[in-house]
Structure 1
Amino acid sequence: MLPLGFSSGLPFLLVFSTLSAWLREAGISRTEIGMLSWVALAYSLKFLWAPIVDRYDVPILAQLLGRRRGWMVLAQLTTAIGLVGIAMSDPATSLGLTIASALLVAFASATQDVVIDGWRIDATSTDRQGMMAASLQLGYRLSLICAGAGALYMAEFVNWRSAYLAMAGLMSVGLIAALIAPRVDLVPAAKRLSFGGAIVEPLTDLFRRKGMILVPILLLVACFRLPDFVAGVMANPLYIDLGFSKADIANVSKLYGVWIGIAGAFAGGIALTRIGLWWTLLIGAVVAASSNLMFAWLANEGARLDLLVLSISIDNFASGFAGSALVAYMSGLTAPGFAATQYALLSSLYALPGKLIGGSSGAVVDAYGYPVLFTATAAIGIPLVVLCFIVRRDTMKTEHERDAADAAAPVEAATRA
């Protein structure tokens, strides 16, 4: 699970913030960079083709490796080919090839995420899913260091082409993991939901259990990480425009910042056990949005390394804390019979508005400047707090029901034995 988590996280920054730094250095306008971030919409729309991945075999590969591992290998090889395509392009002279290659990477990488999640759920029992998820997250975070700091270091001291070729080579980590992973095709095709049912039935279950409170719940999920996604598109262009070197950005944002984000995620996990889900969710909504004010301050002050470190520290810690809260909240919304599909739908939903609105962030900066953008994203925290209070009763009720179910589970297991 650890190397598969690494393979899952590696491509994301390479079509998002790392690519935006290359584009800005190549002279691409901030408006165009913002719009190009829409290639990452594949990660938000993956639920549309997830039933195909879950239901159909890859010719030849499925016979050799099984359905899950066959899709993994195909997705990983396609991702590597897309990264080579980006490496061979030059945004200043062949932007079309860069965009097409980035689209291929995003689509293949999102497909890889779908199949890795399916393999993770099938591979082991429910009581070990916490360990699997922790391994996935650790591998994902380590890959962010490579795709963020590692790629920027190589671009600074060698060139961008070498950086992306090296990242394509690192996809071999996931490829090896897929080849040695156990074969776990547990559900025969005849028992799988139809393509339409795979999407409709989990949604129907959510509406049946939650009723009209589902509307503010979905709004909260959709907007919870909106400040991060919108601000994230313009973070690297801000650093470049202020005059920070790629080495500075790699050291502070992509290396130091990742570990601060891990610390924030652990802090969120501790808060969940100490003060409960709702309070952790509320605190996460406030700190994640308000931390963007640090970037507005940085934009006004200029290339101060001390202020960059402080901004990255506060923002990444807040982002990690809020991420733990949101994962726990979305997990609590799922039902046992539809847990994997409902979680895929919710995780797609939480990223979709940020990706859509993030595409216009460059135009906002060009028209009004960086401080206005980051202040506006911080203001999103106000409606988030309102939504947290609206769903408060349902959240606490769900938490109590889960606690009761967990307490009853050992008794039920002993009775069946």
Structure 2
Amino acid sequence: MNAPDPASNPEAPSQVAVTKPSWREAMAVYLQPRVLVVLFLGFSSGLPLALSGSTLLVWMRESGVDLGTIGLFALVGTPYTLKFIWAPLVDALHVPLFTRTFGRRRGWLVFAQLLLIAAILVLAFADPAKSPLYVAIGALLVATTSATQDIVVDAFRVESLPEQEQAAGMAAYVAAYRIGMLVSTAGALFLVSAYESTGQTRLESWMWGYVTMAAMVLIGTVTALLATEPEQSARAEAATSGESAFRRVTQAAIGAFSEFLGRKDAFAALAFVVLFKFTDAFSGTMTAPFVIDLGFTRNDYAAIVKGVGLAATLIGGFAGGFMARRYSLAASLWIGGLLQAVANLSFSWLAVVGVDQWALALAISAENFTSAIGTVIFVAYLSALCKNPLHTATQYALLTALAAVGRTYLSSGAGYVAKATGWPAFFAICVAVAIPSLLLLAWLQRRGHFAALGPVKV
């Protein structure tokens, strides 16, 4: 199925006709203080995800945990799918001392990051070989505090950036998010190897690797302290200052859900949100164990991810921003959806080739490049769905929680599928699981869903 031609695409009116800025003017936007704040917060959001995900899976595989159990550990991402439940609390309640000192969004942000540091330290003292249950509890704590941070960062980003900075903000956020993930994957693996080279045991090396990652969360904390409270958030806070906490929570919850569910084809849109990144999630769950099983060392994997993977991520993030600006939102989703699905075949090819550094570099580059493109466009779509500052956090949390369903629940059986089919067939299946999302995309486009969103500057 080919991406629609933007010239004949019925969704084309959602593309705003603007005078294209010069290259220098376009790059200058990325140096705006608000965009830089969003960039560093993006890094802070991306950092913890792998610590309860792919990096943890490498640690578990090295400790001798079987593939079936590793696949089930995708379930520790449950807080990412349920975060919309407590998002109204973030929208409506004050954190004692923190809110009064830093403001509505910044107070919650600093509070969540301090909890996140504590959770990562809990996981640092785990031993996967002796106590998988303790590891699961630690990973759940990391995922819960990370999801809470995401709730606040997403609301802060949507509310703080003016329309002319949204494109740069989204590209910077996604690129920094991916860099944060690379630091907690390749960076963490390199750190573990470095600690091992000093004579420490493998368990001690993993512990200090996680302790170092906990310290890096402070980058986001310092950013939050230096930032200013979004004006939209301050106005929303002033408008509800005389209301009780219960009423604010109720209004945030009911308003967010009723407004969204009242839209045309709301449930189809929600299903699309669940499935769009599923192809990425299904393959991503098993990428690290696959590379280790193939015969690459921990450092081989880390070097490729940190070097070539980082470059591919940055290029892909800004390529996604260019596509979303150049084409309509629907056409951009077609391009991103197809690219991220087909990229899985590079791992099928790698499984056939075997231990080859260049083949691994190509596969990792293809995955990072196409995933970054799809993520930027997807974030643009989710941002376009959130309009009201009274419950930005709740609506965005609902959407991103649904997007995490694929990574958490639908992907939990990936390990068993890989065991049953073998690696080449498994990654071919990862391509096939993208088909339902593309069918929904075609149906929503025909129904005028994207045109109904109004002008979208992405």
Same fold at TM > 0.5: yes
Give the whole-Å Cα distance in 2 for the aligned partners of 1:90 and 1:104: 16
Report Cα offsets for 1:42-73 as digits up to 9, x if no partner: 12221110111222222333343334333222
- Confirm or deny: 8 A CA contact 1:121 1:340 kept in the other structure: no
CA 183–329 in structure 1, closer or farther in 2 if over 3 Å, else same: closer
- Confirm or deny: 8 A CA contact 1:83 1:105 kept in the other structure: yes
Aligned length: 401
Q: Secondary structure at the match of 1:195?
A: helix
CA 36–331 in structure 1, closer or farther in 2 if over 3 Å, else same: same
Matched, 1:174 2:227: no
Matched, 1:65 2:111: no
Matched, 1:209 2:269: no
Matched, 1:260 2:312: yes
Matched, 1:280 2:356: no
Q: Secondary structure at the match of 1:391?
A: helix
> How far does residue 125 in structure 1 lie from its aligned partner after superposition?
4.2
- Confirm or deny: 8 A CA contact 2:93 2:248 kept in the other structure: no
> How far does residue 122 in structure 1 lie from its aligned partner after superposition?
4.5
Matched, 1:390 2:449: no
Determine which structure has greater relative contact order: mean sequence separation of CA pairs < 8 Å that are 6+ residues apart, divided by chain length: 2
Report Cα offsets for 1:243-285 as digits up to 9, x if no partner: 1111111121244213212212222222223232222211222
* Alignment match, 2:253: 199
Give the whole-Å Cα distance in 1 for the aligned partners of 2:40 and 2:438: 37
- Confirm or deny: 8 A CA contact 1:332 1:398 kept in the other structure: no
Greater alpha carbon shift after TM alignment, 320-329 vs 116-125: 116-125
- Confirm or deny: 8 A CA contact 2:47 2:180 kept in the other structure: yes
Matched, 1:20 2:57: yes
* Alignment match, 1:82: 119
> How far does residue 379 in structure 1 lie from its aligned partner after superposition?
0.5
The aligned amino acid for 1:34 is G
Q: Secondary structure at the match of 1:44?
A: helix
CA 33–284 in structure 1, closer or farther in 2 if over 3 Å, else same: same
Q: 2:378 aligns with which of 314, 321, 326?
A: 326
> How far does residue 126 in structure 1 lie from its aligned partner after superposition?
4.5
Give the whole-Å Cα distance in 1 for the aligned partners of 2:311 and 2:384: 27
* Alignment match, 1:30: 67
Report Cα offsets for 1:290-344 as digits up to 9, x if no partner: 2112212222332222221121122222111211222222233344566554333
Q: Secondary structure at the match of 1:209?
A: coil
Give the whole-Å Cα distance in 2 for the aligned partners of 1:50 and 1:215: 20
Give the whole-Å Cα distance in 2 for the aligned partners of 1:382 and 1:118: 31
Greater alpha carbon shift after TM alignment, 110-119 vs 197-206: 197-206
Query: What's the TM-score once normalised by structure 2's chain length?
Result: 0.81
Q: 1:352 aligns with which of 387, 393, 405?
A: 405
Greater alpha carbon shift after TM alignment, 92-101 vs 336-345: 336-345
Give the whole-Å Cα distance in 2 for the aligned partners of 1:331 and 1:299: 37
Greater alpha carbon shift after TM alignment, 135-144 vs 75-84: 135-144
CA 327–160 in structure 1, closer or farther in 2 if over 3 Å, else same: same
Q: Secondary structure at the match of 2:262?
A: helix
- Confirm or deny: 8 A CA contact 1:226 1:353 kept in the other structure: yes
CA 125–306 in structure 1, closer or farther in 2 if over 3 Å, else same: closer
Give the whole-Å Cα distance in 2 for the aligned partners of 1:301 and 1:135: 35
> How far does residue 396 in structure 1 lie from its aligned partner after superposition?
5.1
Matched, 1:142 2:142: no
- Confirm or deny: 8 A CA contact 1:78 1:104 kept in the other structure: no
Matched, 1:50 2:120: no
Matched, 1:41 2:78: yes
Unaligned stretches of 5+ residues in structure 2: 1-36, 196-204
> How far does residue 226 in structure 1 lie from its aligned partner after superposition?
0.3
- Confirm or deny: 8 A CA contact 2:122 2:138 kept in the other structure: yes
- Confirm or deny: 8 A CA contact 2:43 2:176 kept in the other structure: yes
CA 242–214 in structure 1, closer or farther in 2 if over 3 Å, else same: same
Give the whole-Å Cα distance in 1 for the aligned partners of 2:46 and 2:165: 21
* Alignment match, 2:155: 118
Matched, 1:221 2:258: no
CA 132–278 in structure 1, closer or farther in 2 if over 3 Å, else same: closer
Greater alpha carbon shift after TM alignment, 188-197 vs 94-103: 188-197
Give the whole-Å Cα distance in 1 for the aligned partners of 2:386 and 2:112: 27
* Alignment match, 2:432: 379
Name the Cα RMSD after superposition: 2.4
